[in-house]
């Protein structure tokens, strides 16, 4: 009985599921108390957005960018410099940073996006290092020491609060909006073009899709979203330096999360971040301060496991489980196929 109804109202039930999830997320900081746990929530959501942004270029179009820290840093540095030197509110600085990052992505992309596969990955990795070394030695942006964002207590104008709750709602909003955007893009012409280019670029081009334009557009969008999160990070942590926002491991991490969740899918980046972050933080808390870097070790293992066992990531795994639960026989068949 229940099974039939679920199948009948599939769209309705999915919508209900999403709404339920949203309501849960809205009340989560009331349920989860304590600054440490709220901090994990904020960071998890931050990586959801960063991974979504990476997925647009890496997962959909198939250009594996390993230098997204550049855009993250552009966002963080632009808004911080604006607020420090010109007293411009980060609410504006955020968008300026986004535009700067998107323009840089377009400029870089016009050259680098001609590269494919390994070559693109290595070039973006190198660009990230160039920028880190450059910013570490550039006095105007604070050099290797970076900046402390001046403290103003709790202030909307300066986008900083002593409580973690406002930060949570800002990043939650960003995560929901970006995920919705990716969802829409996934269903749109853009999404199918991107998948076509990813699968067979020559065939896609022969059908009249401008692969290069598409790559540029998604790279710019990736940069824009990543930079917005960069500003958020600067305002949340209130300290930025090349060692915190321009490190290679940040660029790699945002590429690894979607892989764990399911690359080139709407929910992959979400699942990847939500599954791995709280779990690893929990492990770390259990092991105490000694467990430095343990969460990254876990990430590394998760990726290798996913690639070897279920290349489509957690999304596919959950789909399989869902099928098995929903339809007895159908699910069983789907299970035996693999």
Q: Applying CB under 8 A, does 328 fall inside the site for other proteins?
A: no
- Per-residue binding string, other proteins, 34-63, x by CB under 8 A, is ------------------------x---x-
Inter-residue long-range contacts of 306-310, CB under 8 Å, 24+ positions, other chains counted: 306/259, 306/260, 307/259
The DSSP annotation for 19-88 comes to HHHHHHHHHHHHHS-SHHHHHHHHHHHHHHHHHHHHHIIIIII------THHHHHHHHHHHHHHHHHS--
In whole angstroms, give the CA distance from residue 173 to residue 56: 19
Residue 106: both structure tokens together = 């377009």
- Per-residue binding string, other proteins, 232-271, x by CB under 8 A, is ----------------xx--xx-xx--x---x--------
Q: Which of 24, 307, 321, 325 binds other proteins (CB under 8 A)?
A: 307
Total residues in contact with other proteins, by rule CB under 8 A: 46
In whole angstroms, give the CA distance from residue 108 to residue 214: 15
User: Cβ of residue 115: shortest distance to other proteins, in angstroms?
Assistant: 6
User: Cβ of residue 169: shortest distance to other proteins, in angstroms?
Assistant: 31
In whole angstroms, give the CA distance from residue 124 to residue 23: 39
Q: Which residues pair with 239 in a beta bridge?
A: 148
Q: How far apart are the first and last CA of the chain?
A: 28
In whole angstroms, give the CA distance from residue 129 to residue 135: 10
Q: Applying CB under 8 A, does 145 fall inside the site for other proteins?
A: no
- Per-residue binding string, other proteins, 148-187, x by CB under 8 A, is ----------------------------------------
Q: Which residues pair with 160 in a beta bridge?
A: 155
Q: Applying CB under 8 A, does 296 fall inside the site for other proteins?
A: yes
User: Cβ of residue 252: shortest distance to other proteins, in angstroms?
Assistant: 5
Residue 325: both structure tokens together = 């639960």
Q: Applying CB under 8 A, does 300 fall inside the site for other proteins?
A: yes
| E strands, 98-240, in order | 147-148, 239-240
Q: Applying CB under 8 A, does 30 fall inside the site for other proteins?
A: no
Asked whether the beta carbons of 232 and 90 are under 8 A apart, the reply is: no
Q: Which of 21, 22, 23, 304 binds other proteins (CB under 8 A)?
A: 304
The residue range among 4-12, 95-103, 185-193, 297-305 that interacts with other proteins, by the rule CB under 8 A, is 297-305
Rank residues 225 and 253 by Cβ distance to other proteins and give the closer one: 253
Residue 252: both structure tokens together = 């790699």
User: Cβ of residue 44: shortest distance to other proteins, in angstroms?
Assistant: 18
User: Cβ of residue 61: shortest distance to other proteins, in angstroms?
Assistant: 11
Q: To the nearest 10°, the Cα dihedral for 301, 307, 313, 314?
A: -30
Q: Which of residues 111-140 bind other proteins (CB under 8 A)?
A: 111-112, 114-115, 117-119, 121-123, 125-127, 129-130, 133-134, 136-137
The residue range among 8-16, 108-116, 226-234, 316-324 that interacts with other proteins, by the rule CB under 8 A, is 108-116
In whole angstroms, give the CA distance from residue 246 to residue 243: 6
Q: Applying CB under 8 A, does 293 fall inside the site for other proteins?
A: yes
In whole angstroms, give the CA distance from residue 182 to residue 316: 18
Tell me the CA distances in angstroms from 139 to 45, 73, 127, 134, 191, one per residue in order: 32, 16, 20, 10, 42
Q: Applying CB under 8 A, does 292 fall inside the site for other proteins?
A: yes
Q: Applying CB under 8 A, does 273 fall inside the site for other proteins?
A: no
Q: Which of residues 64-83 bind other proteins (CB under 8 A)?
A: 64, 66
Q: Which residues would be at the binding site for other proteins (CB under 8 A)?
A: 58, 62, 64, 66, 111-112, 114-115, 117-119, 121-123, 125-127, 129-130, 133-134, 136-137, 248-249, 252-253, 255-256, 259, 263, 291-294, 296-297, 299-304, 307-308, 311
């Amino acid at each position: 009985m229940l099974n039939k109804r679920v199948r009948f109202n599939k769209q309705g039930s999915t919508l209900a599921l999403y709404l339920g999830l949203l309501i849960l997320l809205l009340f989560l900081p009331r349920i989860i108390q304590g600054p440490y746990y709220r901090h994990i929530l904020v960071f998890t959501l931050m990586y959801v957005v960063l991974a979504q942004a990476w997925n647009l270029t890496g997962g959909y179009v198939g250009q594996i960018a390993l230098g997204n820290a550049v855009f993250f840093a552009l966002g963080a540095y632009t808004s911080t410099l604006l607020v420090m030197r010109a007293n411009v509110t980060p609410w504006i600085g955020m968008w300026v940073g986004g535009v700067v990052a998107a323009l840089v992505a377009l400029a870089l992309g016009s050259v680098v996006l001609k590269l494919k596969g390994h070559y693109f990955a290595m070039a973006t990795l190198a660009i990230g290092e160039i920028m880190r070394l450059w910013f570490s030695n550039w006095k105007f942006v604070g050099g290797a020491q970076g900046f402390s964002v001046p403290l103003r207590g709790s202030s909307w104008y300066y986008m900083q609060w002593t409580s973690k709750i406002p930060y949570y709602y800002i990043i939650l909003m960003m995560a929901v909006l970006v995920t919705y955007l990716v969802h829409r893009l996934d269903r749109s012409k853009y999404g199918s073009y991107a998948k076509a280019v990813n699968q067979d670029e020559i065939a896609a081009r022969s059908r009249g899709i401008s692969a290069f334009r598409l790559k540029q557009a998604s790279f710019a969008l990736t940069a824009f979203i990543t930079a917005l999160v960069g500003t958020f990070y600067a305002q949340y942590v209130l300290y930025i330096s090349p060692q915190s926002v321009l490190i290679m491991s940040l660029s790699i991490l945002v590429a690894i999360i979607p892989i764990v969740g399911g690359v080139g899918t709407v929910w992959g980046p979400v699942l990847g971040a939500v599954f791995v972050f709280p779990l690893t933080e929990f492990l770390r808390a259990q092991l105490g301060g000694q467990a430095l870097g343990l969460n990254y070790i876990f990430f590394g293992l998760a990726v290798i496991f996913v690639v070897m066992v279920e290349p489509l990531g957690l999304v596919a795994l959950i789909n399989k489980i869902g099928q098995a639960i929903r339809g007895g026989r159908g699910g069983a068949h789907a299970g035996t196929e693999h």
